[in-house]
Structures are given as C-alpha cells and as structure tokens.
Amino acid sequence: MQDSAALETFIKSSSYTSPQYIKRLKFTFSAICQYAQAKNKPIKELEILEFGCGTGGITFPLASLSSHITAFDIDPSAVSVISERIRKENLNNVVVMEADGHSFDDSKTYDMVIASEVLEHAINPRDFLQRIKARVNKGSRLVITIPNGYGPWQIKRRLSIITFLRRNNWLRSMFGKRPYITGQDHCQFYTKKRFLKMFSEFSFRLRDFGKSDSILAIFETRRGPLFGKADVRLADILPWWLASGWYFVFEAE
C-alpha cells in the first residue's frame, strides 16, 4: 500500500517540476512500493542501484525512502553536484560515483535497478543490459523509462535544425566547441517491440507499462512543455504508439 505522505516527500525531494517528470516519479514510487509489498520487505531495507543518475532528480527522492542507494553517472560534473548535496544534507544512505554503464561493476546485487532516460544514450544497449543482469538476483525489478523512438516528440527533435547544427563537428570547431561525441545525445531510437524483445533476450519479464506524455509534447518553450498537465492525461487514453515516452517495470527471471 502506498503512503501518500511518503509520495509527497518523494516528489518534493526532486528538482523535477514539470508534469511529465512528476508522472515519472509517481510511476517509480509505485513500482518500489509494489516490489516491497510483493517481497514483504520494508522499503528502508531495499538496495537500489541507479544507472545514469544525472544531477539527482530521482536519486534524492529514492534517498527520501531511507533505502540504501548506489548511483552513478558518466558525467563528473553531475556526480559533483550530487556529492555536494549529499554532504550538505548529511545523507548516509547514498553512495554516488563516476562510472560508465557499459562497464559498471561493483560486484554487488540489488533489489531494484533504476535507469531513467538512459538507454537511448547507450552506444551498445546490450552492454548495459549485461551489466544490469549481473547486478540483480531472480525476482529483482527494473524501472526503465525511455522516449518513444518514433513518437511525436522524438520525431520533432530529430528533424530539428538545432539538433543538426549541434551535432555538426565542422560548425562546432568554428565556434570553438568540443567535438560532438555519440551518446551525448540520443543515439538509440526504440520501438516498443524492439525494446521488449531486447529485455526478453536477457530474461527480464514485463510487469508493468506506462505512458508519459503524447503528441502535445511537441509544443514546448524554454520553460518546458506548453500543455504539460493536459498532455500527461491525454497520454493515458491515447494508444501507446502515440506516446512521446514510455515507462516499464521488468522482473529478472
């Protein structure tokens, strides 16, 4: 059973504020509660691993549950941001480190693995899955969120002139920018069928599925989505292929 006060704290612990992100946090919270209930295990005793934690938008909500959190990211500046907040808030249940998901190995196993908006950046996603597989036991669960590779928002983004210019290394060199490296931006464009097949090959069974936002996601400003609240509600009633992003819960078999 979900605790509404715990959910409120979970959401408030994040730097995320847009409706799409709040929906993602609620999905993650629900997946954790369902796992703890199924295993008859207190949430505070869970061992949770987060792949690609960024600056902690999900890491700190996880920490609010008093679970034992291990998080890593390939970006040293992101790890620095999290480390500083851990120090300021004197958190003793979070360990963060710099690492690459293609090669991460801490020789531990976890109850749950979180990888939110990560696998679309993976140059070789099967390397990621091999690493995840090595970090879980039978019955462990994964919470994975990705963009719909051929959804409204992703199509708009791929056709954007800004995206083209940002990836053009000749232009980047003219303006004194570092070369674009594959993986900094999205380099995997998944269909739902391809994504489920890939996880099935690693013996992960789908337990739950959700949709983030829909076609209204193409309307956005610098401050964020223009129709965020309406869009996340619309996604729930439209077909899955019209969603701009997907949420999955898998169980290791």
Phi/psi at 63 (5° precision): -65, -30
Closest CA to 194 of 252, 150, 238, 236: 150
Whose CA is closest to 48, among 36, 151, 8?
36
Distance, in Å, from the CA atom of 186 to the CA atom of 82, rounded to the nearest integer, reads 23
CA 90/CA 64 separation, integer angstroms? 12
Which parts of the chain fold into alpha helices (H)?
Answer: 4-12, 19-39, 59-64, 76-89, 125-134, 152-158, 161-167, 169-174, 192-201, 228-237
Beta-carbon-side half-sphere exposure of residue 218 (alpha carbons within 13 Å): 15
Domains of the chain: 4-149+188-252 (3.40.50.150)
What does the pLDDT read at residue 155?
83
Q: Which two tokens stand for residue 38?
A: 């199924």
Strands 110-116 and 47-51 turn out to be parallel
Tell me which amino acid residue 44 is. Answer: K
Average pLDDT across each block of 10 residues of the chain; the chain has 253 residues. List them in order. 86 93 97 96 97 96 97 96 96 96 94 97 92 97 96 80 56 61 73 97 98 89 82 95 96 97
Q: What predicted TM-score, i.e. pTM, was given to this entire model?
A: 0.89
